[in-house]
Structure 1
Amino acid sequence: MTEGQIYHRKQSRQPEDVAIARAQIASQELWGGPPRNYLGSDIPKVKAYWNQLPLLNDAQTQESGIEFTTMVEVDSYHPKFAYWSGDREGVRNEDGSAKIKVTITFCNQFDEVYIANEQSNTES
């Protein structure tokens, strides 16, 4: 199921991550390179976790990252995350990355919290 499903991506600790988050909001597009973990591959994949961003240990604060929905069908299921890859409807490969169109609904990766459909974003 894709329609209405919320996915999230956690903020990485890379210095350029804030700029990437702003670019993703502007383009309403997410991208991903080849996996470098134990599922390593040379195939670019967009990876995201199921559901909303988790709460931190204090159970009051949401972890930093992006929440989104997409109409693009997931091509690889795992109990914790989903992948989108390949040259197929909704996925394009460009500059060594897989790219999918999304609707970003929430982002708290920088000084302002982005919430879709709000006229102005609020300071965090």
Structure 2
Amino acid sequence: MTDNLGKMLNKIKNAILVKHEAVLIPYTLNNFLILRILEQEGFLDSINIVCKKKKREYKYIKVYLKYNEQTSKSFIRNICRLSKPSLRVYTNSKKIPRILNGLGIIIVSTSKGVMTSKDAYSNNIGGELLFSIW
């Protein structure tokens, strides 16, 4: 069993550390939905689906990272994994923690799909806390 979410987060972290402009991530629907949320929240510049053809066709997501133009620092300061394959973390909507008094977000996997902690709280839906980002 592979941990696609963990691989995606590590690729993004490593790309930020070496200040890459973009990173390729294998396409899964879950990865795409999470990256789309991060793009809407302003942590990523843009995302595109790219097809590479070798023996068979592979889909990738090309993620363009967002940096501050003046200081050349990334908009993503830290990514912290909350729920792991060996230890799942579930919570109801009332007990979803806040990150840096609302400056960061938590990505929550709910029965209504993947959403931010703010959306889960406003819709009164609990779920699995995937990771926090600020």
Normalized against structure 1, the TM-score is what?
A: 0.32
Normalized against structure 2, the TM-score is what?
A: 0.30
Higher relative contact order (CA 8 A, sep 6+): 1
Question: Which structure's CA Rg is the greater one?
Answer: 2
> Greater helix percent: which structure?
2
